[in-house]
Structure 1
Amino acid sequence: MLDSDIPTAEALTVEFKSDQKRLPDKDLVLAAVCLANTDGGAIYLGVEDDGQPTGLHQDHHDLNGLAALIANRTIPPLSVRTVMMESAGLKIARIEIPRSTRLVATSDGTLQRRRLLADGKPQCVPFLPHEFASRESDLRLSDYSALPVAGADLDTLDPAERHRLRQAIERYRGDRSLLGLDDAELDGALGLTRTESGQRVPTVAGLLLIGRESAIRAHLPTHEAAFQVLDGTEVRVNDFYRWPLVRLFERVEEQFLARVSERELQVGLFRVPVPNVEPRAFREALVNALTHRDYSRLGAVQTRWQTETLSISSPGGFVEGVSLDNLLVVEPRPRNPLLADAFKRIGLAERTGRGVDLIYQGLLRYGRPPPSYLRSDPSSVSVDLNCAEADLNFLKLVLEQENQLGTGLPIESLLVLAELRHARRLDTPETAKLLQRDSAYGRAVLERLVEAGLLQAHGVRKGRTYTLSAAVYRQLGSPLDYVRQAGFDPLQQEEMVKRYVREHGNIRRSDVIRLCGLSPQQATRLLKRLNNNGFLEPHGEGKGTLYARGRNL
């Protein structure tokens, strides 16, 4: 492997270790344990902290020996993969560490995990006992919310909060079969209590949902939520709560709804409300924050409303298997399954577990940008909901399509339409990446939108691209944009290139890209076609190739 395969800096999953003085075995094993107990990654042995390769010590040239050392000195044994690399004639060992599904310690009992400091630099820190339950919950090996609360009894549960929960089931159209149960049966059905040594004791979920505020403060001091309204740098509202979750949810929703403003859009005979923030999208984002947060970690669920952005964040990163690259398609994986199920049965959460779809739809159908999770990191999940002015023409287009279909537009269609309003042109690979699906799925979505008259296809096979149709551009109030984006057909493109060569003697691929508004791949195919037909003759190789007049031009 080449020097270019070595990262330029350390990260959560990248560790550099100097080996000039022979790295002690203990330090190497501890670095492997640290990565395995976090997100896995790679150790680059023979690289300094600043990324400068200095080479392996002679004693570490046996890569199999390095792998055996790590396996023999970890509990349970950690299986790693080793790869020899070379940089400027120096040997470097890349030791690939998998993310462990169990807690891993060194043979002498040391446990560590990896975290990022405020400046983005990684650090290995002790893995403390109170963090074990959270780790196992992340890996879906246990459910922290289903654990009994040590030292708590039935007196820590508040009858008034249980009554509030019953009212919420009515209000939010939850599982009405729960309403016919007595208190003990209701608690058991929702997992609010469990039997330990013949006695009913509250679970973490039970204390969170119907516990007394004093008991929550005593037994679950990590639980906190905040609602903030900022006007520039001035704080208008800054409320913090340690309330039971049903009461807390209703209070935050009340504060949110008090600040929602609406205008109306006339569509046919109906007036459609256009809120500055779609309430369902907000509700699902808040529910996700409350049910998926890491309750073993200090920190508040933050709802922060600024001028054009409503942000909701919660302690704890994405759970195992969920990332920014698969957020739209991954199967629901709650960090606290019992708590998440209780929210669904009460009616506070989307029943299928695909609340993220409602969040996306709640923004995209109004012509707003999709929700952004880019501020999320290993210690927290943050979603930003854009509150900018709605695009009423786009909303009207969506509503008319939904009326024709008799149902809401799929999130895939909304994503493609929203992207084309800015990117102007998409091909199948770009669409597949946008939808977090494979190319076949992306192509199928595009072709369905073509059949619906919303998109227009240009070209054939691999060179096929898509723009919004002329009818859509007219409805959006920008018909001239269609002419600019649709561009020229292949015959027109050929004639433009031939005329350019007649006048200037030759042409490069970069000239074709600018002249015809094509992608690099499309320009290459156009030049190859003209060459095969004898109109152009290539001179040179690679990016510097010049195409001069051919025999038929």
Structure 2
Amino acid sequence: MHQAEQEIQTLIRGGESLAVEFKSDVKSLPDRDLVAAVVALANTEGGDLFLGVEDDGTPTGLHANHRNLAGLPALIANKTIPSLAVRVETLELEGQPIARIQVPKSRQLVSTSDGLLQRRRLRMDGTPEAVPFYPHEFVQRQSSLGVTDPSALPVENLAVEDLDPIQRIRIRNAIKKYGGDQSLMPLADDELDGALGLTVSVGGMRRPTVAGLLLLGNEMQLRQHLPSHEVAFQVLRGTDVLVNEFYRKPLLETFEEVEVLFRARVEEEEIQVGLFRVPIPNFDRRAFREAFVNALVHRDYSALGAVHVKLDDDGLSISNPGGFVEGVNLDNLLVADPRSRNPLLADIIKRIGLAERTGRGIDRIFEGMLRYGRTAPDYSMSSAHTVSVRMSAADADAEFLRMIVEREEQTGAAMPIDSLIILSRLRNERRLRTADLAKSVQKPETVVRGTLEKLVEAGMVEAHGTGKGRTYTLGAKVYRGAGQKAAYVRQAGFDAIQQEQMVLNFIDTHGSIKRADAADLCHISPFQATRLLNRLKDKGVIRPVGQGKGTRYERS
């Protein structure tokens, strides 16, 4: 079976999804239904429409009317607005002719020429369906694609004079407190509004933008013009609710009040590192600030639902309505170019100083967890409609922090986030290869290998083996500093003995072993496997059988 055929078989066996649609053609599918299905795919994630396949994945073939598919791309282009370009190919599956229509994800909203606008979504049972695309969802879609900025839209039925002047004082105070753009300080109020994009001119009148309303509007105005704006702060102990506060106040005022509630629950211990005492908080304040600001700035303000901040026995979680923006996902979260669903609002918050100016606030969140020996922040509960981050309340590893601080004092610079990720994983999983670590760092193996070699030079990490079988563990001084000398010996000192025993156990189980088996078993190179087998042969515990590549080894 060719690779293309295998791909088709795999897609169809996987069933329908947001990106895969089956359409029966036994009774000749009407053009309007076919075009509507294509439009729904284009307005979602794009994907494949298989014509001539039943809902259960059974191929029943194309109707005689659709045996010649040469004109189908032109038909779809003519019956979609704007015109949609698709690729069509004829395939044979289980003896039946079917058509694969490859639909690109559209960067703008697409409708049929009859004005039908649809998208795909998943039902509660996980099966997909096509549903109408309503006007209030347009901004959300265009925002996720980076086509429009919802926070820059004017609020035309609200006058600038009606906004709360106290909030401008709050903005100026925040610039002082957080080290924001000092060039904003001498500006008059109307100049400040214009410089930050809090207001725009509409028909010769100054009107607040959505970002301006969020920062300068009062609670009543926010409820009336932006009812989706809401923040919830909860503290749980077991099943008991200790705090359950909801806010609809302007953004900075909300941030300040929630931060006060959060800081009241931060507890600190201290360790001595050289001449300095270093605090160990149960929750890192900078990590909280970045995560909370991200939730406020990047949330989808066209969707109802609150930004939730929850503290419980297991840790801190922060979630917001609206999934990751286009191009960002769990696999590239650390390396994707900074993008916001609300670019103007994000820029304002950065200029005020409340968020990381480089747009790499995500690094601060990871750093605030990893440098204390805690697990990395967990975004796995995020979905297409929600971004959720979980930060564990597990006890810190004081010796791990001491190691990080001592290294930072030596270099005069903060530990890079890539190094923190690598050290954290090695601390938890003991021995890993470059390929294992590259997934967590989200960078190519060549880049990760360079970071590893720097850690090896610093004595924080040790390398074992060569080539693809090369593995890494924390260095001896790390275990020694933590009072875990025996743990280090278990990881590094017994390698040769462990490898010999693993080979002998393999032979006892399977009767013999080849060089390739030994290399794969012990995570070493073929050359190292040859040396290992020769060492056992010289000891007289195994003997070779056969010659050349077919050589295997048995017990003597």
**TM-score normalized by the length of structure 2:** 0.90
- Please name the residue that 1:212 is paired with: 218
Aligned residues of 1:527 and 1:536 also touching (Cα < 8 A): no
- Please name the residue that 1:352 is paired with: 358
Residue 547 of structure 1 is aligned with which of 510, 531, 552?
552
Give, in angstroms, the shift of residue 280 of structure 1.
0.3
- Please name the residue that 2:159 is paired with: 153
Give, in angstroms, the shift of residue 397 of structure 1.
1.2
Give, in angstroms, the shift of residue 245 of structure 1.
0.3
Give, in angstroms, the shift of residue 297 of structure 1.
1.2
1:410-438 C-alpha deviation (Å, 9 max, x unpaired): 00000001111223222222222221111
> In 2 relative to 1, CA 487–122 (structure 1 residues): closer, same or farther, beyond 3 Å?
farther
Aligned pair 1:526/2:537, yes or no? no
Aligned residues of 1:297 and 1:316 also touching (Cα < 8 A): yes
> In 2 relative to 1, CA 495–387 (structure 1 residues): closer, same or farther, beyond 3 Å?
closer
> In 2 relative to 1, CA 523–301 (structure 1 residues): closer, same or farther, beyond 3 Å?
farther
* CA distance in structure 2 between the partners assigned to 1:53 and 1:324 by the alignment: 35
Aligned residues of 1:310 and 1:384 also touching (Cα < 8 A): yes
> In 2 relative to 1, CA 446–164 (structure 1 residues): closer, same or farther, beyond 3 Å?
same
| Partner amino acid, structure 2, of 1:120 | G
Aligned residues of 1:494 and 1:526 also touching (Cα < 8 A): no
Helix, strand or coil: the match of 2:15? Answer: coil
Aligned residues of 2:156 and 2:202 also touching (Cα < 8 A): no
- Please name the residue that 2:465 is paired with: 459
Give, in angstroms, the shift of residue 343 of structure 1.
0.4
Aligned pair 1:367/2:359, yes or no? no
- Please name the residue that 1:33 is paired with: 39
Residue 81 of structure 1 is aligned with which of 73, 82, 87?
87
Helix, strand or coil: the match of 1:287? Answer: helix
| Partner amino acid, structure 1, of 2:552 | Y
* CA distance in structure 1 between the partners assigned to 2:148 and 2:59 by the alignment: 42
> In 2 relative to 1, CA 240–74 (structure 1 residues): closer, same or farther, beyond 3 Å?
same
Aligned pair 1:71/2:71, yes or no? no
Residue 335 of structure 2 is aligned with which of 321, 329, 334?
329
1:281-323 C-alpha deviation (Å, 9 max, x unpaired): 0100011111111111111111111211211111111111111
Aligned residues of 1:284 and 1:350 also touching (Cα < 8 A): yes
Give, in angstroms, the shift of residue 489 of structure 1.
5.5
* CA distance in structure 2 between the partners assigned to 1:339 and 1:537 by the alignment: 72
Give, in angstroms, the shift of residue 336 of structure 1.
0.7
- Please name the residue that 1:468 is paired with: 474
Aligned residues of 1:156 and 1:207 also touching (Cα < 8 A): no
* CA distance in structure 1 between the partners assigned to 2:509 and 2:233 by the alignment: 66
1:450-506 C-alpha deviation (Å, 9 max, x unpaired): 111111111122222211122222223333332333366679846974797599852
Give, in angstroms, the shift of residue 548 of structure 1.
4.2
* CA distance in structure 2 between the partners assigned to 1:235 and 1:23 by the alignment: 56
Residue 49 of structure 1 is aligned with which of 52, 55, 61?
55
- Please name the residue that 2:453 is paired with: 447
- Please name the residue that 1:402 is paired with: 408
> In 2 relative to 1, CA 74–268 (structure 1 residues): closer, same or farther, beyond 3 Å?
same
Deviating more after overlay: 317-326 vs 461-470 = 461-470
Aligned residues of 2:515 and 2:529 also touching (Cα < 8 A): no
- Please name the residue that 2:432 is paired with: 426
Aligned residues of 1:530 and 1:536 also touching (Cα < 8 A): no
Deviating more after overlay: 175-184 vs 485-494 = 485-494
> In 2 relative to 1, CA 95–177 (structure 1 residues): closer, same or farther, beyond 3 Å?
same
> In 2 relative to 1, CA 36–546 (structure 1 residues): closer, same or farther, beyond 3 Å?
farther
- Segments of 5+ residues of structure 2 without an aligned counterpart are none
* CA distance in structure 2 between the partners assigned to 1:375 and 1:502 by the alignment: 45
Give, in angstroms, the shift of residue 138 of structure 1.
1.6
Helix, strand or coil: the match of 1:180? Answer: coil
Aligned residues of 1:313 and 1:381 also touching (Cα < 8 A): yes
Residue 166 of structure 1 is aligned with which of 172, 191, 195?
172
> In 2 relative to 1, CA 64–478 (structure 1 residues): closer, same or farther, beyond 3 Å?
farther
Aligned residues of 2:232 and 2:307 also touching (Cα < 8 A): yes
Aligned pair 1:248/2:251, yes or no? no
Deviating more after overlay: 178-187 vs 231-240 = 231-240
Give, in angstroms, the shift of residue 69 of structure 1.
2.9
Give, in angstroms, the shift of residue 115 of structure 1.
2.4
Aligned residues of 1:416 and 1:431 also touching (Cα < 8 A): yes
- Please name the residue that 2:30 is paired with: 24
Helix, strand or coil: the match of 2:340? Answer: coil
Deviating more after overlay: 220-229 vs 18-27 = 18-27
Helix, strand or coil: the match of 2:191? Answer: helix
* CA distance in structure 2 between the partners assigned to 1:396 and 1:228 by the alignment: 33
Q: Which runs of 4+ in 1 moved over 6 A?
A: 508-511
Helix, strand or coil: the match of 2:271? Answer: strand
Helix, strand or coil: the match of 1:124? Answer: strand
- Segments of 5+ residues of structure 1 without an aligned counterpart are none
| Partner amino acid, structure 1, of 2:344 | L
Residue 125 of structure 1 is aligned with which of 127, 131, 134?
131
Give, in angstroms, the shift of residue 275 of structure 1.
0.9
Aligned residues of 2:373 and 2:401 also touching (Cα < 8 A): yes
Deviating more after overlay: 521-530 vs 405-414 = 521-530
1:114-165 C-alpha deviation (Å, 9 max, x unpaired): 2233443333221112222222222222211111013111133101112122
* CA distance in structure 1 between the partners assigned to 2:133 and 2:531 by the alignment: 60
C-alpha RMSD over aligned residues? 3.0
Give, in angstroms, the shift of residue 184 of structure 1.
0.3
Aligned residues of 1:265 and 1:273 also touching (Cα < 8 A): yes
Give the aligned length. Answer: 543
- Please name the residue that 2:185 is paired with: 179
1:51-98 C-alpha deviation (Å, 9 max, x unpaired): 444444444444544433322221111112334555434444332222
> In 2 relative to 1, CA 18–537 (structure 1 residues): closer, same or farther, beyond 3 Å?
farther
